[in-house]
């Protein structure tokens, strides 16, 4: 919502509101009612924000002054809104970055040093590991700048500014548009806005929608591509507890890794070069050794990936019946195969470390979300709100005209999509993320299309061939033929057993006709005959590429068949998107108007947000109490030499037994490891800084807790907690465990 612009209306008088004459801005009549209602809801909520639960909400930074800073300061924040977000001078937002494509990181020195989670840096750690140099098992610590390892394809992105552009977008939309026409118009307008914002600078920009497409913000970014790995503890620390402890509290994981951002000699982003220099950031976070106590103020800044707090009961029902069970069932089968091969061979373990971690993380989350939705009756609570919304809408003819069809549109759209959604879930899990070879082969599509032309362009063929060679090297570096062979057969059999025949890919006909329905024999033919099952065959093909060779290849044909099925299913889903999108947009606008006494925050969409709350314990169930912190003693209590998830390095045990905690122990002489707070976070916040009221770093957020796995749909204030590694444990591992004290020397430690 365009709250900042609307706030000035209070000073202008009611008569000026219709045309915003004092701002020389005209709102089209089709959008006027919506804008007016949103403004009224906003205005009342500003006057009553003190009654809110401060621990719920992922807040937009430009709105902190109007909506949040008063409550934050009452809770213990000593900063101003301008200290947190400013485009005129350095502020906290200048130290918080997008790390890679889906995590958060924070700058902690004037030399571009960056902290994030171990699981966020895991792909880079794995990328640089081998059996001879196993950084996953042994850890890595650069002794000097020259030993820091450049990590190709890893970017760090800084937010430059956020600007409300809702009026500029909404002025060119109207309710006569279909949702497709509306989306096309938004795309055109957004291109104009981002073009104006970026101009001929090196910045990037995009316009994001909020509140179900009712408001829009421009976000301008600066991207640095020279990022180097500096340090990582061994997985026995960085992933201690691994799959068993994932999403659980109490937790004892040192989930951190260290990187450095480099810039060109002029301080601007530059491609990797030995001449690049460490970045001089606009702001970096000082580190606090004071630690945290119960009820201490905490705020988390970062990039939460996505929430569905406005989801309806129809959406919850679809999750429980289709999306989540499919993911749990399919990934569970696949991971059992992967794990068996990984335990049998250290080389395979390293190759598949990132793939397995990515699969299992969301697999376990889905198990927990099913349990949480049922245990906390999320469906029932959503239904109650919808019943109240319906009564409120029907009580007024104007509201009925604006919002009367919203829930019906959503319900009918979701119901119509359900069989297509089921098939799509299986296609993605079994085919796209199951069998590896078809997706690899599909990356040769552009080369095929060029070769298939009557007169292929030699330069284009050369360029695409070289690109295919690069792709091939990347693929086979982390590929095991035996593992993929077994996974592929299992995934195809699972798909054909569970999915209606109407959604079968074309290659199923080949299985029936040529292999008499035997999936195993069909899959074996892939590995016996296909170009793509062996790097030597791919190399031989690239020396003399031809479209005909690809067309005859069973894996290439299967890959194209899978993509055709995905396209067909996607088109079926899209046919109902108009209803669902329009329904949600109307429903959310109505909710904002109905509950005027509440300050509404938008769902997460991987834009920078701030959440604030306090360090807090909780009671997960009857007669069970969880303290707000864990210590190194708990690591030793969990040690299990027979379980690779719970091994403890000898060096760490020595430090514990001698009590050699340096200056990092708490006031009781214990070595803190993790703590929990009631901050509102989700995926994407991994690696986010946990900051105290003075703007100092006290922890790194890395997980949520099992009892609140439904929290992306409904915030659960009594049990929802953010799990963070205590910054004192991070410093202790860097200093006393690894001896990398030179890294601490460049931090500002208070």
If you average pLDDT over every residue of the chain, what do you get? 91
Assigned domain for 162 exists? no
Instruction: Give the list of residues 6+ apart from residue 258 with CB closer than 8 angstroms, or none.
Output: 113, 114, 115, 121, 229, 230, 231, 232, 734, 743
512 and 531 part of one domain? yes
Q: Is 256 within 8 Å of 118 (Cβ atoms)? A: yes
pLDDT tens figures, 564-623: 999 999 999 988 988 999 999 999 999 999 998 888 899 999 999 999 999 999 999 999
Active-site position among 255, 484, 553, 712? 255
Assigned domain for 545 exists? yes
Dihedral sign from CA coordinates of 350, 101, 719, 380:
negative
**pTM of model > 0.75:** yes
Q: Is 313 within 8 Å of 386 (Cβ atoms)? A: yes
The DSSP secondary-structure symbol of 285 reads: -
Assigned domain for 293 exists? yes
271 and 317 part of one domain? no
Neighbouring CB atoms inside 10 A of 528's CB total 10
257 and 394 part of one domain? no
Predicted local distance difference test score (pLDDT) of residue 5: 28
- In angstroms, rounded to a whole number, what is the distance separating the alpha carbons of residues 432 and 674? 37
- In angstroms, rounded to a whole number, what is the distance separating the alpha carbons of residues 207 and 190? 6
Assigned domain for 173 exists? no
Percent of the chain whose predicted confidence (pLDDT) is above 90:
90
541 and 610 part of one domain? no
Q: Which residue, 526, 545, 578, sits at the end of a domain?
A: 578
pLDDT at 35 over 80: no
286 and 318 part of one domain? no
Number of domains in the chain: 2
Active-site position among 225, 235, 360, 686? 686
Neighbouring CB atoms inside 10 A of 19's CB total 13
99 and 237 part of one domain? yes
Dihedral sign from CA coordinates of 44, 47, 52, 56:
positive
Dihedral sign from CA coordinates of 501, 502, 508, 512:
positive
Assigned domain for 364 exists? yes
- In angstroms, rounded to a whole number, what is the distance separating the alpha carbons of residues 608 and 60? 7
Is the previous residue joined to 250 through a cis bond, with omega within 30 degrees of 0?
yes
CATH number where 678 lies: 2.40.10.120
CA angle 444, 449, 453 (to 5 degrees): 145
pLDDT at 28 over 50: no
Predicted local distance difference test score (pLDDT) of residue 575: 87
Active-site position among 119, 252, 420, 508? 119
Is 49 or 241 the better-scoring residue by pLDDT? 241
- In angstroms, rounded to a whole number, what is the distance separating the alpha carbons of residues 364 and 371? 11
Predicted local distance difference test score (pLDDT) of residue 597: 86
Assigned domain for 56 exists? no
617 and 560 part of one domain? no
pLDDT tens figures, 503-536: 999 999 999 999 999 999 999 999 999 999 999 9
Tokens of 453: 């032309």
- In angstroms, rounded to a whole number, what is the distance separating the alpha carbons of residues 551 and 602? 47
439 and 502 part of one domain? yes
The DSSP secondary-structure symbol of 49 reads: G
Average pLDDT over every residue of 710-734: 96
Instruction: Give the list of residues 6+ apart from residue 215 with CB closer than 8 angstroms, or none.
Output: 1, 2, 38, 164, 166, 170, 209, 602
> Which candidate, 472, 474, 608, places its Cα nearest to that of 541?
472
Assigned domain for 12 exists? no
Sheet with 297-302, strands from edge to edge, namely 59-60, 609-614, 297-302, 689-691, 697-704, 722-726, 672-677, 629-631
Assigned domain for 594 exists? no
Predicted local distance difference test score (pLDDT) of residue 332: 96
pLDDT tens figures, 449-467: 999 999 999 999 999 999 9
Predicted local distance difference test score (pLDDT) of residue 102: 92
Nearest 10 degrees: CA dihedral of 76, 723, 660, 284? -60
pLDDT at 748 over 50: yes
Predicted local distance difference test score (pLDDT) of residue 43: 33
124 and 267 part of one domain? yes
pLDDT at 12 over 90: no
Q: Which domain holds residue 410?
A: 313-327+359-578
Q: Which residue has the tokens 């090297």?
A: 473
406 and 518 part of one domain? yes
Length of the chain: 750
Instruction: Give the list of residues 6+ apart from residue 317 with CB closer than 8 angstroms, or none.
Output: 379
What is the band of 330 on the pLDDT scale with cuts at 50, 70, 90?
very high
517 and 621 part of one domain? no
Predicted local distance difference test score (pLDDT) of residue 453: 95
Predicted local distance difference test score (pLDDT) of residue 50: 34
423 and 564 part of one domain? yes
- In angstroms, rounded to a whole number, what is the distance separating the alpha carbons of residues 373 and 378? 5
Q: Is 686 a catalytic residue?
A: yes
């Amino acid at each position: 919502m365009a709250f900042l612009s609307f706030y000035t209306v209070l000073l202008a008088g009611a008569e000026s509101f219709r045309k915003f004459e004092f701002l020389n801005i005209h709102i089209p009549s089709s959008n006027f009612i919506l804008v007016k209602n949103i403004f009224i809801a906003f205005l009342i909520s500003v006057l009553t924000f003190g009654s809110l639960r401060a621990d719920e909400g992922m807040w937009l930074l430009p709105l902190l002054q109007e909506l949040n800073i008063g409550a934050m300061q009452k809770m213990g924040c000593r900063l101003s809104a301008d200290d947190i977000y400013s485009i005129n001078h350095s502020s906290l937002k200048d130290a918080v970055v997008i790390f890679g494509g889906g995590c958060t990181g924070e700058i902690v020195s004037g030399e571009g040093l960056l902290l994030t989670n171990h699981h966020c840096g895991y792909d880079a750690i794995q990328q640089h590991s081998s059996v001879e140099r196993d950084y996953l098992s042994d850890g890595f610590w650069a002794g000097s700048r020259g030993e820091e390892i450049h990590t190709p394809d890893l970017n760090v992105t800084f937010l430059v500014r956020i600007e409300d552009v809702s009026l500029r977008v909404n002025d060119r939309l109207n309710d006569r548009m279909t949702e497709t026409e509306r989306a096309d118009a938004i795309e055109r307008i957004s291109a104009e806005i981002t073009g104006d914002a970026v101009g001929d600078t090196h910045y990037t920009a995009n316009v994001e929608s909020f509140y179900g497409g009712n408001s829009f913000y421009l976000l301008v970014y600066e991207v640095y591509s020279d990022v180097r790995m500096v340090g990582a503890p061994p997985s026995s620390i960085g992933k201690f507890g691994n799959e068993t402890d994932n999403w659980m509290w109490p937790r004892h994981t040192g989930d951190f890794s260290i990187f450095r951002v480099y810039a060109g000699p002029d301080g601007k982003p530059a491609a990797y070069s030995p001449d690049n220099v460490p970045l001089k950031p606009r702001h970096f976070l000082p580190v606090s050794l004071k630690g945290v106590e119960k009820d201490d103020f905490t705020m988390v800044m970062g990039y939460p990936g996505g929430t569905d707090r406005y989801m309806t009961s129809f959406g919850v029902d679809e999750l429980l019946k289709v999306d989540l069970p499919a993911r749990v069932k399919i990934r569970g089968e696949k991971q059992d195969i992967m794990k068996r091969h990984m335990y049998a061979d250290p080389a395979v373990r390293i190759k598949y470390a990132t793939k397995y971690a990515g699969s299992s993380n969301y697999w376990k989350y889905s198990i927990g979300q099913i349990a949480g939705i049922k245990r906390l009756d999320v469906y029932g609570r959503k239904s109650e709100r919808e019943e109240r919304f319906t009564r409120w809408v029907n009580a007024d003819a104007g509201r009925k005209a604006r919002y009367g069809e919203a829930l019906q549109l959503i319900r009918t759209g979701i119901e119509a999509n359900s069989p297509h959604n089921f098939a799509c879930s299986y296609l993605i899990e079994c085919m796209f993320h199951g069998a590896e070879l078809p997706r690899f082969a599909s990356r040769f599509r552009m080369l095929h299309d060029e070769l298939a032309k009557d007169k292929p362009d030699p330069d284009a063929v050369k360029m695409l061939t070289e690109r295919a060679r690069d792709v091939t090297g990347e693929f086979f570096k982390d590929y095991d033929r035996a593992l993929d062979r077994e996974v592929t057969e299992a995934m195809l059999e699972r798909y054909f057993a569970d999915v209606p025949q109407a959604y079968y890919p074309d290659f199923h006909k080949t299985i029936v006709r040529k292999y008499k329905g035997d999936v195993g024999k069909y899959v074996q033919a892939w590995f016996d005959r296909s170009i793509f099952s062996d790097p030597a065959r791919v190399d031989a093909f690239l020396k003399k590429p031809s479209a005909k060779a690809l067309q005859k290849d069973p894996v290439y044909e299967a890959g194209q068949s899978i993509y055709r099925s995905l396209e067909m299913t996607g088109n079926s889903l899209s046919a109902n998107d108009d209803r669902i999108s329009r329904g949600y947009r109307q429903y959310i606008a109505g909710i904002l108007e109905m509950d005027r006494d509440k300050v509404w925050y938008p769902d997460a969409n991987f834009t920078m947000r701030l959440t604030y709350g306090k360090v807090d314990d909780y009671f997960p169930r009857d007669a069970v109490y969880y303290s707000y912190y864990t210590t190194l003693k708990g690591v030793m209590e969990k040690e299990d030499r027979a379980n690779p998830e719970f091994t403890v390095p000898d060096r760490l045990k020595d430090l514990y037994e001698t009590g050699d905690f340096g200056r990092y122990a708490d006031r009781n002489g214990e070595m803190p490891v993790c703590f929990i707070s009631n901050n509102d976070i989700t995926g994407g916040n991994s690696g986010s800084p946990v900051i105290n009221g003075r703007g100092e770093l006290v922890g790194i957020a890395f997980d949520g807790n099992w009892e609140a796995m439904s929290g992306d749909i409904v915030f659960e204030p009594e049990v929802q907690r953010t799990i963070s590694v205590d910054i004192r444990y991070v410093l202790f591992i860097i200093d006393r465990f690894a001896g990398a004290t030179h890294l601490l020397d460049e931090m500002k430690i208070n």
